[in-house]
Amino acid sequence: MPQNYPYPFTPSTLKIGEHTLSYIDQGRGRVVVMVHGNPTWSFYYRNLAGLLKASFRVIVPDHIGCGYSSKPQNYPYRLKDHIYNLEHLIDSLGVDRVSLVMHDWGGSIGMGFAGRRPEMIESLVVFNTAAFCSNRIPWRIKVCRTPILGPLMIRGANVFARAAIRMAVNRPLSSEVVEGYLAPYDSWQNRIATLRFVQDIPLSEKDRSWETLKEVEAGLDRFTETPMLILWGGKDFCFNDYFYNEWRRRFPNARAVYFPEAGHYVLEDAFDEIGPLVMNFFNELK
């Protein structure tokens, strides 16, 4: 991919089976792992990673099918596959304690890993996301799950990623940042994971990742005393206040900051406020 966008990192790679997982590994010190969602990639965390790398070791993977990682056409792209890949990456790096930063699908993936390895979790930072069962889905995403129409919209016209760069923010993105979000998803083949993530959203027991999500949800109780920072954009069309309130209910001891004018890509709309909050949160854990 051309790099005419702000991504000042040289990724590392890890082979998982026959596929290649790309990831950022920057800085030294206590480990912070950032887990992105769909249709983003490690680019979403570029500013936060750039800030934290001076004081921490920052690891930011691209899920298989996303960013600089392989984009296999016949890969299952299930929630449990992404959880396994995250666990495999962290184990391969010899890390024994991590703080997780999670957004969108990163919540279910990150907390799925946390539930499998609770002894490794030092702290949690939660951006607009979920890690529990719900049948709530905006019509704009639900229509993308429609057979035939969904693939034509997402893989053919790139509607999902292109809509997100407008609908997921409250402040317009620069042309360079827009290019960064869209760059990995520039063809029918390269948009495979964007579609598969949408198709894999577990809304009921009929969906293939429902049982996996139930396992993720069941593991949340292990972390009620774990230091947690919730940072939430109030103008999110997808992960709205219902999800924010559910996190608050499940984690009453968490520190929460609500940004009423920020959208789903809360790091784009409110980074100047969020960056210091995250830095201070991690520094207080020393």
* Interval 2-37: pLDDT, tens: 578 999 999 999 999 999 999 999 999 999 999 999
d(CA 257, CA 254): 10
- Whether the pLDDT of residue 166 is over 90: the answer is yes
Whichever domain contains 168, its CATH number is 3.40.50.1820
CA atoms within 13 A on the CB side of 257: 17
What is the domain extent for residue 159?
12-284
- Whether the pLDDT of residue 139 is over 80: the answer is no
CB-based burial of residue 135 (10 Å sphere; 0-12 exposed, 13-18 middle, 19+ buried)? exposed
**Predicted TM-score of the model (pTM):** 0.97
| 241 belongs to a structural domain | yes
Residue type at 196 in one-letter notation: R
| 2 belongs to a structural domain | no
Six token digits for residue 56: 């921490």
> pLDDT at position 2, please?
54
| 87 belongs to a structural domain | yes
Contact 152, 160 (CB under 8 A): no
> pLDDT at position 258, please?
98
> pLDDT at position 120, please?
98
Confidence of residue 49 (pLDDT cuts 50, 70, 90): very high
| 80, 154, 210, 233, 267 from 147: Cα distances, Å | 23, 11, 19, 31, 33
- Whether the pLDDT of residue 117 is over 80: the answer is yes
- Whether the pLDDT of residue 1 is over 70: the answer is no
Average pLDDT in the chain = 96
Contact 72, 95 (CB under 8 A): no
> pLDDT at position 4, please?
87
> pLDDT at position 82, please?
98
> pLDDT at position 143, please?
83
148 versus 262: the higher-pLDDT residue is: 262
| 238 belongs to a structural domain | yes
| 4 belongs to a structural domain | no
How many percent of the chain have pLDDT more than 90? 92
| 257 belongs to a structural domain | yes
Confidence of residue 138 (pLDDT cuts 50, 70, 90): confident
| 52 belongs to a structural domain | yes
**What's the number of domains the chain is made of?**
1
> pLDDT at position 261, please?
98
> pLDDT at position 148, please?
86
Q: Is 58 helix (H, G, I), strand (E, B) or coil?
A: strand
143 versus 121: the higher-pLDDT residue is: 121
State the alpha helices, DSSP H only, in 69-133.
Answer: 79-92, 105-116
Task: Give the contacts of 50 (CB within 8 A, at least 6 positions apart).
Answer: 8
Closest to 239 measured CA to CA, from 33, 37, 32, 35: 37
> pLDDT at position 140, please?
72
> pLDDT at position 136, please?
84
| 149 belongs to a structural domain | yes
CB-based burial of residue 98 (10 Å sphere; 0-12 exposed, 13-18 middle, 19+ buried)? buried
